[in-house]
Amino acid sequence: MSFRKICSAVINGKRWSVGFGYTGKTKGIVDDGVCRYHSHRIVVHAAHNGRVRSLEETVIHEVAHAAFPQIDETSIEHMADIAAKVLAKMRAAEPHK
């Protein structure tokens, strides 16, 4: 599957493309997302529905990798999990207009 760009974001002074496409596999399991440093591209698996991570958590996770490449995977996972849960609670409590 080809990359389908949804938007772009400036991260650490570089313009990154963010969208859906093929993410690859780690240990035989299809990745929810991937941060491709060489091409400044964040790719979320095209068939993301029903994945283990929410779309929000996946995007937060991959943006964190792009912004902080020196941070270890466990810390990135922890931060993304917390941020996604907070966003979900905020969204659920948001007053409807």
Strand partners, 29: 26
What digits encode the pLDDT tens for the residues 45-79? 988 665 557 888 999 999 999 999 999 999 999 99
pLDDT of residue 1: 65
Confidence of residue 88 (pLDDT cuts 50, 70, 90): confident
Strand partners, 25: 30
Across the beta sheet with 33-36, the strand order is 4-11, 14-21, 41-45, 33-36
Residue 8, pLDDT > 70, answer yes
CA distance 44 to 50: 13
What digits encode the pLDDT tens for the residues 15-56? 999 999 999 999 998 899 999 999 999 999 988 665 557 888
The count of structural domains within the chain is 1
- The residue written with tokens 């095209």 in the block is 46
- Entry pTM: 0.88
Structural domain range at position 30: 4-93
